[in-house]
């Protein structure tokens, strides 16, 4: 058996009071170490399963299958450095910016999944879902609870900022959330608009400059440029179907 004291510390951390009450018998029998290993493994599995369910990441293509040759511009080395998750230690934000269909959401969801399997709490949502949820609340207490919900995860993924335009109230709510997480937790944002165009996303909102300032401060910016990969795949499917039709004649 390994160091009995170290094993007993693990048992206490797991709150296995029945085992601790009969520790001398377990230690003498030589089965305490195996039992602790099984319990830790099962709790780890259930914890990951629960956090995956709560994170709402959805389906996504693994980074192993990402076609790095397709974008005209994408700093692969920078993104692979982000996959080490060091940015979470510094509560640094990550912003993936580029046109539609270049893989921003795929990369962001891979970051979120990487954080999950390394024990961090994660929540993924689209900007539309997030702001629709917050703006629908009709009491201050309900809004505060919901802001705490979105403010709690170690990593919050806000997808698709810039695809819709929002009211001043939406802008204020997003500003409040980003301010709550500022220098405390990491926020990952995907957007098809450079920050200079966010005034078009939140027309006439007074807080846009301050929102962008907090989001960008010490942020890692991953700029991606190129043609939509979805358009490429649709074109290839159309070409394949046309080839199959010609071959069938």
* pLDDT per position as a tens digit, 31-82: 788 878 877 777 777 777 777 777 899 888 899 999 998 889 999 999 999 9
* Its pTM surpasses 0.85: no
Q: Cα angle at 244 between 239 and 249, to 5 degrees?
A: 130
Cα separation of 35 and 18, whole Å?
12
pLDDT value, residue 17: 81
- Give the residue from 207, 210, 181, 3 showing the smallest Cα distance to 94: 181
- Which residue in this structure is represented by tokens 């401060």? 217
Cα separation of 55 and 238, whole Å?
35
CA-atom Rg of the chain in angstroms: 23
What are the structural domains of the chain?
4-48 (no CATH), 63-232 (3.40.50.300)
pLDDT (tens digit, 9 = 90+) per residue, 212-234? 999 999 899 999 998 887 777 77
| Residue 1 reports pLDDT greater than 60 | no
pLDDT value, residue 157: 98
Q: Cα angle at 92 between 87 and 95, to 5 degrees?
A: 100
* Residues 6+ positions from 37 with CB-CB distance below 8 Å: none
Give the side-chain half-sphere CA count within 13 A for 64: 1
226 alpha carbon, distance to own chain's centre:
23
pLDDT value, residue 45: 73
- Give the residue from 48, 106, 117, 49 showing the smallest Cα distance to 79: 106
Cα separation of 87 and 189, whole Å?
14
pLDDT (tens digit, 9 = 90+) per residue, 86-136? 999 999 999 999 999 899 999 999 999 999 989 899 999 999 999 999 999
pLDDT (tens digit, 9 = 90+) per residue, 140-183? 999 999 999 999 999 999 999 999 999 999 999 999 999 999 99
pLDDT value, residue 111: 97
What is the residue-wise DSSP string for 55-118? HT------GGG--TTSSSEE-HHHHHHHTTTHHHHTT--EEEE-STTSSHHHHHHHHHHHHHHT
Q: Which helix (H) or strand (E) holds 125?
A: strand 122-126
pLDDT value, residue 21: 80
Cα separation of 138 and 142, whole Å?
7
């Amino acid at each position: 058996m390994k160091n009995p004291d170290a094993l007993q510390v693990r048992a206490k951390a797991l709150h296995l009071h029945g085992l601790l009450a009969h520790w001398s018998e377990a230690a003498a029998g030589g089965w305490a170490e195996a039992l602790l290993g099984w319990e830790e493994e099962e709790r780890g599995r259930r914890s990951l399963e629960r956090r995956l369910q709560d994170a709402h990441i959805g389906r996504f293509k693994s980074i192993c299958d990402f076609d790095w040759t397709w974008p005209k511009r994408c700093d692969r080395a920078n993104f692979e450095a982000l996959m080490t998750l060091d940015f979470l230690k510094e509560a640094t934000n990550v912003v993936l910016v580029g046109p539609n269909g270049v893989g921003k959401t795929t990369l962001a969801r891979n970051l979120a999944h990487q954080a999950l399997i390394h024990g961090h709490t994660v929540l993924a949502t689209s900007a539309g879902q997030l702001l629709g949820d917050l703006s629908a609340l009709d009491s201050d207490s309900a809004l505060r609870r919901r802001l705490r919900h979105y403010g709690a995860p170690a990593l919050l993924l806000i997808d698709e900022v810039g695809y819709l335009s929002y009211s001043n109230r939406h802008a204020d709510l997003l500003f409040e959330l980003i301010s709550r997480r500022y220098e405390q937790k990491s926020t990952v944002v995907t957007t098809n608009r450079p920050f200079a165009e966010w005034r078009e996303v939140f027309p006439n909102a007074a807080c846009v400059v301050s929102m962008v300032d907090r989001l960008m401060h010490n942020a890692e910016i991953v700029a991606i440029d190129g043609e939509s990969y979805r358009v490429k795949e649709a074109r290839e499917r159309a070409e394949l179907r046309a080839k199959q039709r010609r071959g069938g004649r």
